[in-house]
Structures are given as structure tokens and as C-alpha cells.
Chain A
């Protein structure tokens, strides 16, 4: 039961300097009962099988409760039954839109435990593929977020680029989503002939087409009306929930482990980070688009740097990590990905703990949705970027 005789603002937070004068005024004897609305696990507005239970008072959300676990596949346990070289084929599936970054994290943490030197060329190629993978991931979210807000065209635009990039990466790795291209100590194979020329061409092409997205989506009045001022996430709240990636950068926190804790050769290239101002849905989406642009900027630098040389090291017949533990964090497309690997000296890990970005990002959803209207909830769910497999592992 609620009392609508008090005045309340429809948008709990508006963008600074902007006053939305929408107010609802009850006449005092209009009473509503609370309703529970379960969105999901299969619902088109939540990508994948994310389920969220909303407590509604009329159109307003009084409480939101994410129900996770519909995609729990037990990665951490399964990793204990896989060889150190086999884990990568498993972990590149938990965040299925950033397969390469996931396996890169595992390769790095195993190499850290083995104290292995990775050839320069392998490190540069890893960066190249990881950045292409980031572009692939972000393009998917660009398409799907717009789709959730009712615009179907950006999806087709995004897949036009995605298909070309997937064909490029398939030439090198043989995979479209799950590349399994990393190997402990380097890469499976060197880049095929003609890959670089194609990569240069595609980078140029995508950069030429990127303004389309800025104009078509960011410049769209309907899109702005649905996103500006919706679901602002203050930086201190974002940090307290452990939110990372574009969602955190949109709140104005310059955290990107490619800059703050460089791995591979990220300290040798220029990695720009776009920061948002208000942390609302619009900023989160803008951050995503800028991250595509900056990833392409990094790819261009890698093209100029790529050294010659071997791409992998000879591995012993049996890879056994020494007793101990190691932690490696990398900047996954959606945020901080951390792997904690513990070994008892055997052939398989004793424990693999994952710190996945989506899991932390989703924690902020109850905070964001409280007091919001139902249509705005879709805008928030789409812009707090998560992949369900990455939440549930």
C-alpha cells in the first residue's frame, strides 16, 4: 500500500543542471496494492536467462531482486578436473562474448606460476586478438541495448561489422566465438599469411563506420529520452559494489587495468580511457562506443609494433605448476576479470577462483532499480553490461 498524496518525482535522479518537471500527484484516496513481477528466466528484454523479481507499486519499482544461478555450470569445480592446458578451453565459455580475454587470463596466471617467459611476438598478437575480441563484444552490446529499447536497426549494423571481424579471427584461430588460440607459453599458431593486411583494412573500415553508431544511436532523440538521467550510479556506490569496466568508467572513475596495472605490452601503447560524467544509462552506452574507438586505436598501434620471432615456447610433456598460488587480473571487455589459481604441485589446479565482472556489475542492479519506473528498468538492465554465464559461472 502506498500513499500517493505525497508528491514524488518520477525520475529519482536527473542529470545535473537538468530539472525534469514530471511529478505525479495523487488525490489521496487512490490506493494501490503491491505486485510482484517476475521477469525471466526467459524474457526477451534480459539477454540470456537472467531473472529478476520486481516488487511493484503501480508502475514504480519498490524493490528488485536478481535471481541468479540459472546458468550455473560449475566452472570452478570442473577446472579442478582439467589439465593446466585444458582449462582454457573451458573458461573461454563463461563469458561467451569475450572468449579470448578469458583464456588469456588463464594463460597469464599459469605462466605466472610457471615463471615462464613468453616470446614478444606472442604477447603482441595476444593483444591484437584481445582488442579485436573487445570490439566484437562491445558491438554485440551496442546492438542488443538498442534492440531492447526498441530499435532493431543497430543490431543489423553491429552484426555487419561482427561478421567481418569474426571471419578475420577465424582465419587465425579457427573459432568464431571460442578461439582457444592461447597456449601456456604463447599461441597455438602464428598468424596466417595476409592476416595483417586484412586486419589493417578492417580496422580502417570499422573506424569509418563507427560515426554511424554515434549518430544513429547516441544522437537519436528517442534514445536520449530513454537513457539520459536514467539510473545514475555514483562513483562511490559503484566502487562499493565492485562494479568495473565501462559501467565504472561511465561513473567517472578512471580504472582500467590496462593502464593501472599493465599486463602484456599495454605499457608500450597508448591506452585512452573515456570517462562519463553522470554514470547514467546514456554515459554507460557512450563509454562502450568510445571503448570500441579506443580499441581500434590500440589495434592500429599494434600493427606498427608487431615484431618478428617465435610465437610459442616448447612445453614439457606434462605441465605441472609448482605448489603455491597466483592471481592475475586483466581488463575483460566487461570489466575486471581475475583468476586466483592454487596448485598443490599436481597435474590439475587445486582451486581456480574466478572474479568475474558481470557478477559484480549485477550487484548494483537492486540499488539502481529502486524507485524507478518499469520501462526505465529495461534501460538500466541493458546498460549495466553483463553476460549471464559470467554471473553464474
Chain B
């Protein structure tokens, strides 16, 4: 998927959605809208009550999803629903505790059966991840880890070692959320990470506009957009045009134009 876009001279769009926002029933349709708009990979966010790594937009998305009754097992139902009509790669994106409660082995099995391709855990370091990685890999699921601007060379090497599928580079210190301008240079982190892995590198945190998508995309294989999409869901959540709005926003992100 990253390779195909690369051949086209474009970065892949990795699109994050909080599953269950605004309702569990809406999510499969929103994933389809993202795909029509040009998304190449979907991160299905599992809502969590205490999302320490997230800024206000995704916090609110998680709140709405939990109030609407979303759970990890229902996220897997959504994935199944998506798989009926689409082969788009899907990554389960979750804080650790809901996965721990579900049980790693059972989760790996159920996620695989639901058509999930990989898993990303936001709040566990590679040092604590061995049993998780073993369980996911046993079912053939990729394990994506994050690297950050604060990561030391030793840590980048560890992240490379435990990651499969791709590596997610966090473009700045901070929580998730859109930024007017991307102040921190991403080049050095991409170059450092490249020393340790041949996996595709996707860059995220703060990206919400086509220009940012293009400039970040020129340095990496993929660009992750999350809060900006969740904001569209928030703004149009009650509207019958929600899917059309999300699709249009995604298309503008990838292709530019009004």
C-alpha cells in the first residue's frame, strides 16, 4: 500500500477515526467515506475513558463514543462490517487497558477474524510489550510502535525491532491535535529512524491541511491525520451529510483544492 503510493509519487494517507463516534452504527459508513476520499489505511481508535496522549478533539470523540456505548468488542464488529465491502488495511488503535482486559490472545484471534491487519498501542513502551507483541504476531497481526522526537538512538533501535507494518513517527512533543503551522522539523527524526529500519515511516500529530500533508509527505512514506477528521465528525455528527462532508474533507487533504 505504501509502495503503491510511492510509485505514484504520493504519500499514503493514514486516517484515524474514533470508532463509535458519533455512534457505533455510523463508523463503517465513515470508514467507507474516508476510503472514497483517498485514505489508504484506517486507524480504528478504541475509545478510552482516560486518554492521556490525546488533545481535546480526540478526548471529546472518545467521550461521545463511550456515551454511545462503544466497546472494544463492538469495534471488532465494525471492522467485520467494513470487511464485507472493502480490503482497505485496518489498524486497531488503542490504549492498553481495554486490550489487557479483553485479553491479548483472545484479542489477537478475534481481531484477525474481524479483518484487522495490525495493532497500535499508545501508552505502552516497547520494554513492556513483549507478551503483547508475541500474542499479536502469533495471529499474523502487525505491531506498530511510535517513535518520538525525544526518543534516543537506543530507543529508536528498540522501536524498529518491535515494529512491523510501519513505524509511526510522532512529529512533535505533545498530545494529538491540529496545528496551524508545523514548527518542528521532521526531517531529522525520519533520517534517524531510517538508520534502523526499512519499514515504511508514517508521520503524524498536528497535520490537518493539504499543504502540511504534502510537505510532511515529501519526507515520509505516509501521513497520519486524526484530530482534523474527528473534528469533521464532531461538526457534522448530527447531519445526514456527515459521510459526504468527511469524504470531501479527505479528498481536499489529499488532492488540495477547495
Partners in one complex: no
State the A residues within 8 Å of B (CB).
none
State the B residues within 8 Å of A (CB).
none
